[in-house]
C-alpha cells in the first residue's frame, strides 16, 4: 500500500494542493512569458482585473482537486463553469505525505472539507509588473475552520539571475508551518503592512493608531501575511470590508500553524463554511506574534463602523 493511501485525508489533500499550486505557478509564468495576459475587467472596474492566468490557474486547481477527490467542495474567486481535463495535476508532495497528521484531523471526511482558492492573489500587481506580490492561495477549511493552507510565490527569486524560480509554503494547524524562515524585527521597529491600492481614511486612521516606524503598502493578502511570517512586517492591517474568504483562508491557516492569528478587527474569527457569504466584512488584523497588542490599538470608532 502506498504512503498516499495510508495517509489521513487532510494530509492527502494538502499534499495534492502543494503539487497543484506549483503547477498553477508554472501556468502563471508561462502566460506572462507569452506576452498576452488576456485582461478583462470584472464588473467593469479598473481596479478588479481578471487575466488568462486567473482563469487557467483556477481551472487547473479546481479540476485537479475535483479529479483527485470526487465530491470535494472547492470555491474559487473566478466565476468559471468549465473544467479543464488537460490541466489536471496528479502529482503529490512527498514531503507533506511524510508528515504526521494532528490527532484532531485524522478522522476528517470529505464532507467536512471546503477548499478556498485564489488562483492569482494580486492580479492587479501581476498586470503592473509587481511580480513578487503575486501568490497562489489554496486554503483548506474543516467544519468552517481554516486548518490548512498553501501559499505559492511563482516569482520568488525572479530578480536573481540563475536562482530557482518560485517557492511554496504550507501549514497545517497543530503540525506546523514550512517553507520559510522567520527573523525577528528589532524591538525598536514596528512595521505595518497594508493595502497598496485600496486605502481609505479608516485604513489610515487604524494604521496611525499603531504608531508604526514603517508602513509597507503592497498587493495581495497572501504576500502581506508572508511578510508577517518572515518577520519583515509586524502586522497586517486592513480596516475595510474589501477582501474575501479566498484571500484569507490559506494565509490564516499558515499563521495559525506558526502560532499567529488572523481575525476581524473586532477580534472575532472568520468562518469558511461552504454556504457563508464570500466577503470578509469585518476587516483584517493579522500578526505572527503580539496579536492582542495590535487588536487593542484599533480605534473604537473603526470597530463600530465594521460588522462584528
Q: Which residues are catalytic?
A: 54, 123
For cell 467542495, the residue is 73
Q: Nearest 5°: phi and psi at 307?
A: -65, 145
Residue 109 to residue 79: CA distance in whole angstroms? 27
Which residues share a beta bridge with 168? 152
Is residue 234 classed as helix, strand or coil in its secondary structure?
Answer: coil
Q: For residue 267, with 0-12 CB atoms within 10 Å meaning exposed, 13-18 middle and 19 or more buried, which class applies?
A: middle
Which of 182, 61, 56, 62 shows the shortest CA–CA distance to 123? 56
3-state secondary structure 61-110: HHHHHHHHCCCCEEEECCCCCCCCHHHCCCCCCHHHHCCCCCHHHCCCCH
Which residues share a beta bridge with 140? 115, 148
Cell matching residue 209? 493608531
Is residue 291 classed as helix, strand or coil in its secondary structure?
Answer: helix
Residue 67 to residue 88: CA distance in whole angstroms? 8
Query: How long is the chain?
Result: 308
Q: 103 CB contacts (<8 Å, ≥6 apart)? A: 174
Measure the CA angle with vertex 135, ends 47 and 46; round to 5°. Answer: 10
Amino acid at each position: 500500500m502506498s504512503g498516499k493511501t495510508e495517509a489521513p485525508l487532510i494530509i492527502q489533500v494538502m499534499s495534492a494542493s502543494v503539487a497543484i499550486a506549483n503547477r498553477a505557478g508554472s501556468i502563471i509564468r508561462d502566460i506572462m512569458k507569452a506576452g498576452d495576459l488576456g485582461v478583462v475587467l470584472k464588473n467593469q472596474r479598473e481596479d478588479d482585473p481578471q487575466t488568462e492566468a486567473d482563469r487557467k490557474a483556477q481551472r487547473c486547481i479546481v479540476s485537479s482537486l475535483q479529479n483527485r477527490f470526487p465530491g470535494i467542495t472547492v470555491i474559487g474567486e473566478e466565476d468559471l463553469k468549465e473544467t479543464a481535463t488537460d490541466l489536471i495535476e496528479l502529482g503529490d508532495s512527498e514531503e507533506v505525505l511524510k508528515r504526521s497528521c494532528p490527532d484532531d484531523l485524522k478522522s476528517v471526511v470529505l464532507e467536512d472539507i471546503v477548499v478556498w482558492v485564489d488562483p492569482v492573489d494580486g492580479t492587479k500587481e501581476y498586470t503592473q509588473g509587481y511580480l513578487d506580490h503575486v501568490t497562489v492561495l489554496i486554503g483548506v477549511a474543516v467544519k468552517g475552520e481554516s486548518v490548512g493552507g498553501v501559499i505559492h510565490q511563482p516569482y520568488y527569486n525572479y530578480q536573481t539571475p540563475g536562482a530557482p524560480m518560485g517557492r511554496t509554503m504550507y501549514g497545517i494547524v497543530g503540525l506546523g508551518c514550512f517553507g520559510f524562515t522567520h527573523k525577528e524585527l528589532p524591538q525598536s521597529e514596528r512595521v505595518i503592512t497594508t493595502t497598496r491600492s485600496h486605502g481609505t481614511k479608516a485604513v489610515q486612521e487604524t494604521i496611525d493608531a499603531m504608531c508604526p516606524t514603517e508602513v509597507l503598502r503592497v498587493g495581495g493578502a497572501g504576500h502581506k501575511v508572508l511578510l508577517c511570517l518572515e518577520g519583515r512586517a509586524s502586522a497586517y492591517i486592513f480596516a475595510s470590508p474589501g477582501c474575501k474568504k479566498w484571500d484569507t483562508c490559506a494565509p490564516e491557516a499558515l499563521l495559525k500553524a506558526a502560532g499567529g492569528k488572523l481575525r476581524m478587527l473586532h477580534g472575532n474569527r472568520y468562518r469558511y463554511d461552504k454556504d457563508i457569504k464570500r466577503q470578509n466584512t469585518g476587516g483584517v488584523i493579522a500578526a505572527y506574534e503580539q496579536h492582542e497588542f495590535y487588536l487593542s490599538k484599533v480605534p473604537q470608532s473603526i470597530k463600530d463602523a465594521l460588522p462584528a
